[in-house]
Structure 1
């Protein structure tokens, strides 16, 4: 009996090593699996200014947000205190960068300013768009198979010359996804995004 004890220990250790190796291989395999990519576009119906172009340069800074949203994964919350991500999919850019891109394209569509970009043409621009992302996720409705996509941004227009805030506004929209199936949730993101960035473009146009 005592002669077999060391052998059993050796076999057990070897089995654990094999299982650990399998787990590591699975993790590497999962990490290497390509994810489907989704992209949100600026609203197609943004009204152009129709007047004289403002001789002003506008810089859109990368929005700030919580760590859970500072990723290219698409967030879905099963409850208010838990953050998860839709499996096997991602955004085309990290969420803050994608929102910056949507802002740029929305302002460009108005044709209201001389220049809009991520960086100034010279030393500095005339105005900066400074944004905090409050919500950009799908929230599962308790006891149902539906989810509410919520987008909320706090946006400030800052005059670069003296760093004064000349305007501030919160933009938000909610769109319901009938199921938590990926394509349905993405459609809801697109609907909410169109509402937010259409309102944002009109606000920037009228403010500047």
Structure 2
């Protein structure tokens, strides 16, 4: 009985290893095309933020998003009611995680905070930045990128929301190739995240 269980465990492990090998090798499975391009976002270089209270530390919470945006897929809005995903292309991680990391880096680039933390890092936090990704994709009808992120600034000591705001930006893609779409999304996202950092520094 022990040997049979061990064999079953080995079999499952072998299948898992084979599956990982196929994924890492970008093999096509079941007729699906392999993803050939993986894209990253860049962080805004914030130079016009205001000074904040000395020693202030802020926690960047992972953004929430509807399922259509909570994945590695790059969204194409084909109409007001329908979306598609950009073929053979993806983000480097789930979009909310990528956005979280780049927002944190933008805050760090401002050089205004004593500490910028992510959940689980154990910082003594003064404020939390709570965000919701409402739009993050290409509007096919205008061949442009649109990024909209809603933000709440929370006092971590009192649990009170200090202020809230919605930031939105667009950028022309210029062409319909994947790299042009991603550049446009990156431009719009950097504009949104820079505005976000500046706005937060006016509230603390």
Give the equivalent residue in structure 2 for 1:41: 42
Cα distance in structure 2, aligned partners of 1:119 and 1:49:
24
Matched, 1:172 2:168: yes
Normalized per residue, the structure richer in strand is 1
Give the equivalent residue in structure 2 for 1:184: 180
Change beyond 3 A, Cα 1:122–1:182: closer
What are the equivalent positions in structure 2 for 1:120-131 lying under 5 Å apart?
122=122, 125-131=125-131
Cα distance in structure 1, aligned partners of 2:164 and 2:192:
15
Give the equivalent residue in structure 2 for 1:94: 94
What are the equivalent positions in structure 2 for 1:145-164 lying under 5 Å apart?
146-164=142-160
Bigger radius of gyration among the two? 1
Q: Deviations over 1:106-145 (max 9, x none)?
A: 110111111111126547511110011110011111xxxx
Cα distance in structure 1, aligned partners of 2:42 and 2:87:
22
Deviation at 1:157, TM superposition (A): 0.6
Deviation at 1:154, TM superposition (A): 0.6
Question: Aligned-pair RMSD on alpha carbons?
Answer: 2.2
Q: Is the 8 A contact 1:59 1:120 kept in 2?
A: no
Deviation at 1:52, TM superposition (A): 7.3
Give the equivalent residue in structure 2 for 1:107: 107
Q: Deviations over 1:64-83 (max 9, x none)?
A: 11110000110001111111
Change beyond 3 A, Cα 1:140–1:34: closer
Cα distance in structure 2, aligned partners of 1:123 and 1:112:
16
Q: Which secondary structure does the structure 2 equivalent of 1:68 belong to?
A: coil
Change beyond 3 A, Cα 1:161–1:53: closer
Change beyond 3 A, Cα 1:81–1:166: same
Cα distance in structure 1, aligned partners of 2:173 and 2:93:
22
Give the equivalent residue in structure 2 for 1:55: 55
Q: Select between 198-207 and 95-104 the one with higher mean Cα deviation.
A: 198-207
The alignment's TM-score, normalised by the length of structure 1, stands at 0.78
How many residue pairs were aligned?
178
Give the equivalent residue in structure 2 for 1:81: 81
Q: Which secondary structure does the structure 1 equivalent of 2:189 belong to?
A: helix
Q: Is the 8 A contact 1:137 1:149 kept in 2?
A: yes
Structure 1: gaps of 5 or more residues? 1-24
Cα distance in structure 1, aligned partners of 2:28 and 2:51:
59
